[in-house]
Amino acid sequence: MPFIYFSQGVASLYPDFTERLMSHLALKGTEITHQVLQETTAQMHVKHTDEQGRLDINVENENVKVTYTVDRERKEISKGVMGAITGAGLGGILGNVLRKDEGLGDAITGVIGGAAAGGAYGAYEGYEESKDNRTNFSAILAETIKEVEDELQYIIQGQAEEKEAIRERGRQKLEEDSAREEEFRGMLEDLYGQVLAVKEEVDMAKSEGSNVTKARGRIDRAESLYKEAQASFDRKDYTTIKPKIIASQNMVDKAREALDEAQNSG
């Protein structure tokens, strides 16, 4: 009779599951041989105390399925022999040999046959012991599978939490970038308005006969820096926008000062 176990939700870590299960079982005294390990399946022979069998491990949807098939050793045969001989009595065996001129082997065979027909207690005892051993290892296997599942669920939970943390950091960065984008957009719009206003004032001062060469140089530089800041904004290169905006604003202020000097001197 096979024993079937399911480890829930750990299929994504199947290789780790198989390695951990083998390691845990080995630490509990299980001899593991004839391993055939593949990407999503594994087969191996296991032996624990006097019980042995085969493990088949495979991925089934999101779970891992473990099938343990017992290779029951027929201890009832050896124990049945001893029980039959003990029940019949050694004297009875020798008596059969002397009376019927039977060989010793034939006499033992006859005794065993009679004892088996009557349900030799030795055979029954051997079966019960085999069943108990099988049950003991299936319990060990179930316990070990649960241990491995708990370990992997802890890892999966940690991975999920880390992924959520990464997503949260991504959301925060998007929010921060959006806020900075709005801030810089407002600064650029304000700067552009100042550049246009000063350029208009310079043109008017020039038409009125003022020497606006110095003021024109300042405002042209301010406009150039503004365009560089706008290009950085379009590339979302937020690290260079603010310095260029500050430099452009400084040139606008100096252009205003130069324009005032030109108008006052005129």
- Mean pLDDT calculated for residue range 156-164: 87
Same domain, 180 and 261: yes
CATH code of 206's domain: 1.20.140
Q: Is residue 246 part of a domain?
A: yes
Domain boundary among 119, 151, 186: 119
CA 35 to chain centre: 24
Report phi then psi at 20, rounded to 5: -65, -40
Of 255, 191, 250, 244, residue with least CA distance to 220: 255
pLDDT tens string 178-235: 888 899 999 999 999 999 999 999 999 999 888 999 999 999 999 999 999 999 999 9
| pLDDT for residue 159 | 86
Answer yes or no: is 141 within a domain.
no
Sign of the CA dihedral with 87 first, then 90, 96, and 102 last = positive
For the cut 50, the answer to whether the pLDDT of residue 162 exceeds it is yes
- Domain-located, residue 140: no
Is pTM beyond 0.75 here?
Answer: no
pLDDT in tens, 244-257: 999 999 999 999 99
Structure confidence at residue 12 (pLDDT)? 92
Structural contact between residues 212 and 259, judged by C-beta atoms closer than 8 angstroms: yes
Residue 99 belongs to what domain range?
75-119
Domain count of the fold of the chain: 2
d(CA 129, CA 113): 22
Least Cα distance to 145 among 13, 6, 249, 258 occurs for 6
